[in-house]
Structure formats: structure tokens, C-alpha cells
Chain A
């Protein structure tokens, strides 16, 4: 349906257009979204736990975690509220390297990312491994600010950004694909921006 009087003012297609998923617009800033107040987690209180169901596999404190191999990842990110931001530059620890340090192969096909604020979001394990995701510690070379999820947040840039859980304190392998916070509140179980999987019933 064409909207009367609405024109795109769109310029001729450029190579950047191909980087913007359907229904998204390019944002220069870095908007903040969260379901509650911003937690201020001190690095001395921070820890990260890898779990299989309720059972802890390995736990790292801030210094131990920062001693793991650091990887750079510069990616476009896509928020379900329709903004896309190009070339966000992160450094952190690949999930692959976390698993290697724990000395395990992924025990199940599904994972829940857990936050200090009680947030959770589900991601298939294969979307976290193979260099696709990291626990980010730095944004543009500096510690991630609390409003953007610091000290550490998950980065799964190929899925809508609510999957990149802020204030991360653990990854939990689950036997089934268990919906997390937003997935229980109307948002898509997987969240592929290129298939525009925003809400629960999107194909």
C-alpha cells in the first residue's frame, strides 16, 4: 500500500544499501534499549560462568577472563526497533575460546545467555561458535560503558541485537530451545534480521 504523500527521498542504490536488512534504517548514533535500570557491575564483583543446565562447568573472574585470547570483531548491528549501525568495533573473547579454555565441546544445541540483571536470551549454540559470537569487553578500544552492557556483553551480530545480552554473567547450555526474556514477551525465538524475524509469529 503506497502511503499518500510519502516519498522516500531515496538516493540511487549504493553498495551500503545491501548492508541494510529489510525494514531497517541507518543510524549514526548508538541508541540504548533495556527493560530496566542500568546495573553498574564492578569488575571486582564480575564473574562469568559456563553452565550445562544448572551445573557449573567453569567460572572465571575478571582477571582470569581478560587473560583469555582477545579477538577483534567489526560488524554491522541491527536492532529490532529498526535501526542498523555500521562497522561497530568490538574486542572480546570468542565463545570458541571460552569453550577451549573450559576444555569442552558444546554439550547441547541450545544456549541461554544470562545477565546480571536477570535478563536472558536464547541462541542456538551453532550461532555462537565458529567465530560467529564473542563476549565483548571493549567497544571502539575502550571498556564498554554500563548503558551499552559493560563490563561485558554478548555479541551475536548476525541476529537482532536483543540477542547480544548486556551485563553478561554466563552462558548456559540447555537441552531444549528455551525462550528468554523478550522471547517470552512477543519477540521472535531466533531473530534473523535478514528474514525480518522480529515478533513471535514472523516466519
Chain B
């Protein structure tokens, strides 16, 4: 007889407890795990759906909530028209539904208060999601690490977490927010209305008290390629830049 615990499936059932539309194309799903779920800001999960005929679809989603928020995990999911998992969430999923989840996953695109800074975060579209977890983690911890988020969206109404980010920046506790819109004029005085470039990165870094110790870039492949090159052109050493890409 062995005292070893029975092998536990890495998958667990989670229940949707709340659904909140964030932008026309992005909705947050709040998930209640069935067993303890500890994670770090920036990590992701795999979500698995199973059809009656046994077919399974799985996709990775970044966590938007901060580890300190409590048991509920927030995923902010963008609807992809040709997807098979995101349309399920947007069109079918309801509060009380169960899905399967595995994680947390990823040990590179993560940041904790203790990792220090200054921190430069660069997000495009739904690529802001894991950065949001870092920004929230920093705020909840009362961290003194200086951080700047440069967030590129097509239009003002597609700035995910917009009101919360502006509120956090208005605390003036060392977190600064730079928005850039690619298809609309800028709304706030120091914001931009163009794609991210090296000049924008240079200016963003002037908002930090010292050069960044770490830079995190997340978005589509094209966005990450351009933003990472802008950071390098702005003088950030490649070794300090961590990237996460999605899409084709």
C-alpha cells in the first residue's frame, strides 16, 4: 500500500461566476476554481471545451486578475470570428456554466513586486491582459516599483480596462499610462495617435525614474515584432525584453 495521493488530473472544473463586457470585442469571464489556484502576474491558463461526441478544443488565455484578488480568476477573451473557443465564450457561455481549466502556465512572462523595476509594459489590443495582471498586482501590493504601460488600441472604445487604468494612473504612485490610438485622434493630452515607434518608447522611458530593468511586450506577432524593435532602437537591451505573441 502506498501513501502517495491518487494521480490528479491536471485539469480542473471551473465555474463561470460573472461575465462583464469590456469592449465591443472583449469580454471578461470570472472563473471560480474547484481547487486552490495560486499564480503569478503574467501567467496564462489552458481552457478546454468538450463536445458531446468527445471532440475537445483547447486554447491558452492570459489571466487579467491579480494573484491577490482572491479565488476568482479573470480571463478577458477577445472574440475571433473564425475561432472555435472564443465564439463559445461570447455567444453561449453563461453564469453557472462549467468549463475545464489547466494551469497556471508559463514561467517567463511573469513579474512579481519582488522582481523590482522600473518596469516598462507595452501592450497591443488584448495583449494588455497579462500586463493588466501585473499592473493590478503592483497596485494591490502597494508596490513602489515605477512602471509605465504603453497601450496601443485601434480606437478609444477598444481600450480594454480603460477606466480602471486611468484611475490607477491618477493615483500618481509611480504607475503611468500612455495610450496610443491607431485609428482615432488622441483623447488625453500626452497620448498618441499612431503606431508604436522608437520615439514613443524614448518618451515613455522619460516617465520612468531610471532605465527599465525589465520590459514586457504582448500582442499580435506583428505588434510584438514592431514594439520590440522600437524598444531596441530606443536603447533597451534585448536581454531585458520579454515577449508574448499570439495569432498568425
Contact = CB atoms under 8 A, between A and B. Distances in A.
Contacts of A30: 248
Contacts of A147: 221, 225
Given A1-B98, A2-B50, A82-B60, A34 B238 contact: no
Interface string B219-248: 001000100110110000011011101111
A2 B51 contact: yes
Interface residues of B, number: 44
A29 B102 CA distance: 26
Interface residues of A, number: 37
Contacts of B50: 1-3, 6
Interface stretch (B25-33, B105-113, B140-148): B105-113
A5 B93 CA distance: 8
Contact of A23 (B51, B56, B84, B247): B56
B241 to A, nearest CB: 5
Interface string B1-43: 0000000001001000000000000000000000000000000
A36 interface: yes
A37 B229 contact: yes
B130 to A, nearest CB: 14
Interface in A1-32: 1-10, 23, 25, 27, 29-32
A10 B13 CA distance: 24
Contacts of A6: 49-51, 57, 88, 92
Contacts of A36: 228, 238-239, 241-243
B59 interface: yes
Nearest to B56: A23
A118 B242 contact: no
Contacts of B60: 81-82
Contact of A34 (B10, B98, B232, B243): B243
B167 interface: no
B123 to A, nearest CB: 16
B163 interface: no
Chain B CB count within 10 A is highest, among A6, A9, A34, A199, for: A6
B58 interface: yes
B97 interface: yes
B45 to A, nearest CB: 12
Contacts of B100: 1, 3
Contact of A3 (B59, B98, B242, B243): B98
A191 to B, nearest CB: 14
Interface in A147-182: 147, 181-182
B88 A5 contact: yes
Contacts of A23: 48, 56, 58
A7 B52 contact: yes
B51 A37 contact: no
A162 to B, nearest CB: 11
A202 B229 contact: no
Given A7-B51, A81-B60, A82-B60, A184 B97 contact: no
Contact of A33 (B56, B242, B245): B245
B81 interface: no
B92 A37 contact: no
Interface of A: 1-10, 23, 25, 27, 29-39, 81-82, 117-118, 147, 181-182, 184-186, 199, 201-202
11 contacts: A1-B13, A27-B248, A32-B221, A36-B238, A36-B242, A37-B232, A82-B46, A82-B60, A117-B238, A185-B108, A186-B106
